[in-house]
A and B are shown apart, each in its own frame.
Chain A
């Protein structure tokens, strides 16, 4: 059954973006919109796995930020070792260096995610309280282990040389790194959307989110599917962490924890279990952060919380609710 197209939620994004136009000059608006979109794409990478894991298995992973931290530190290590490519004149070598970092980030955090699922999450299916507690414990241990491996000092990310600067288009300054982030985010969203809507596995995942018992009753092993989604979500968070580390350029052990609040806001606004909602909400949060950060810098995070409260008052289950209440 194809659900009715939900128009109101879809137009929210352009409406918010256009409403800000009168408050600033056009070139500023372009800069901020691209910055917001880039931040949104990175938020989407970090949040998409979490929302699916919750939707599919009713598991809330408060340690998701640890995957982001791990990804950011992997960016430090990989890009630091690839200074030859990253410092070269060729744009392709620069992008390749970032590509290697992203790949390593995805593979390593995915593997860590598999271990984490096995050791920490698997035993606490069904009990929200235990999930919150045990994943908080996992977060503490993971954060401390990161410090054991990389040390407690902030580390610098050796961002590829040609991705550092910005260029002018019609008076609007655009950072090239942000464009890469937007492109990567769009590709990942496209792939995730295609996998979920065009493949058999995607069909099973969506069916599992809507009614897990029924899928199990039809003879499918939803646990295996869940492990796959958990690992993919961890890998995506790692990719998001690599990109976010490169964006911030300075990586500390709390980089993931700081993002956790924003990620929660994103998946609450988007509706738990919905990848499309997560994408829209991520861009919405990214745009709001940048617009408000420009207009009244002190209110930046407060604005996101206000946004979340408004959306929840309008739609208590988020913009695109999928998961069972």
Chain B
């Protein structure tokens, strides 16, 4: 067990407990929380844990602020969606698409990172913002391949379809159908990727990344070619994000600019990483869970709050169900002020 998490425990009894609960909850989600909506939420949580954790390698471990991370997420999603939409359902298309997406994302991320050779850190953030918006335009304009704003709808191999039955009889009230197979495919891949990321950040390579974050000049003086390290970190994070994107396409059986490429998703990722705690990997996992659950279940709560204050002047608009992002934004600012290390990071500090 220790080797599987690379000897990197969450670090505080409460954090350990939270992570264990999260792992158990996700591993047995179809049995603990049956139902289409909660299954979709659990799958999204898995995918966003990987996406947010891969962003944490950049933001939390290396100190790079990139706004192009959703671009890699989308590249992976399109790499799976395009062959499936054009060539029909096949396992080859899924596996090949995932691998091709990861490779393309890694190369592209490497190229963009090499550009940061010549510019300051703050320029890099702005450039990635520009590149990301360019990607959005390409996805929307290149209709023949990406389906434009409408996106691509496709079907999956029969084993992942709702009609498929592994066992005829339901077990513990759960049908062993294609949805279950899809969920465990997503869960398994995400678990492996998360373990891989723990391995990356706890390796000597990961230590160098942290050294770069703390003091790039000193890391360079110690003899590390920081540009190379940053480039490799960017490429790794991009490849992992691309695989997560492919899983997203499989989950939705659809991919379009809104589902994987929009700036809202980039904002969500930032929220996840910062709320959970930068530079911990477990923090983004917790943050992803909180944000996805908020997306699914906060809106009804806000509806109740909005109903409770009807008749007041501005309050009903402030608590309108569509304003959940407002409250997350307020929470985000408060966390950056008062818990700059995030939830997991703050818990870790208490132990030390």
Residues of chain A at the chain B interface (Cβ within 8 Å): 54, 60, 120, 123-124, 128-130, 132-134, 136-138, 140-141, 144-145, 147-148, 152, 257, 260-261, 264-265, 268, 272, 298, 301-302, 304-305, 308-309, 312-313, 316-317, 325
Contact = CB atoms under 8 A, between A and B. Distances in A.
B329 interface: yes
Contacts of A313: 118
Nearest to A119: B333
Interface in B280-323: 314, 317-318, 320, 322-323
A136 B326 contact: no
Contact of A136 (B141, B270, B323): B270
Contacts of B263: 257
B308 to A, nearest CB: 17
Contacts of A272: 122
30 contacts: A60-B122, A129-B65, A132-B65, A133-B274, A133-B336, A134-B333, A136-B332, A137-B330, A137-B333, A138-B333, A140-B326, A140-B332, A144-B323, A145-B326, A147-B322, A148-B317, A260-B129, A264-B126, A264-B129, A265-B126, A268-B123, A268-B126, A268-B127, A272-B122, A298-B141, A302-B134, A302-B137, A312-B119, A313-B118, A316-B119
Given A133-B336, A136-B267, A272-B122, 13 more contacts: A123-B337, A130-B340, A133-B332, A136-B270, A137-B332, A140-B325, A147-B322, A152-B322, A260-B129, A268-B123, A301-B133, A301-B134, A301-B137
A219 B39 CA distance: 63
B293 to A, nearest CB: 18
Contact of B130 (A129, A130, A141, A305): A305
A148 B325 CA distance: 12
Contacts of A140: 267, 325-326, 328-329, 332
A241 B121 CA distance: 28
Contacts of A120: 333
A148 B327 CA distance: 12
Nearest to B138: A302
SS class, residues of chain B in contact with chain A:
helix
Contacts of B270: 133, 136
B124 to A, nearest CB: 10
Contacts of B65: 128-129, 132
Q: Give the one of A145, A148, A260, A308 with max B CB within 10 A.
A: A148
Contact of B125 (A132, A305, A325): A132
Contacts of B123: 268, 312
Give 10 nearest A-B pairs by CB, closest first.
A140-B329, A144-B326, A264-B126, A137-B333, A141-B329, A137-B332, A316-B118, A148-B317, A261-B133, A134-B336
A317 B329 CA distance: 33
A145 B340 CA distance: 24
Contacts of A148: 314, 317-318, 320, 323, 326
B257 interface: no
B168 interface: no
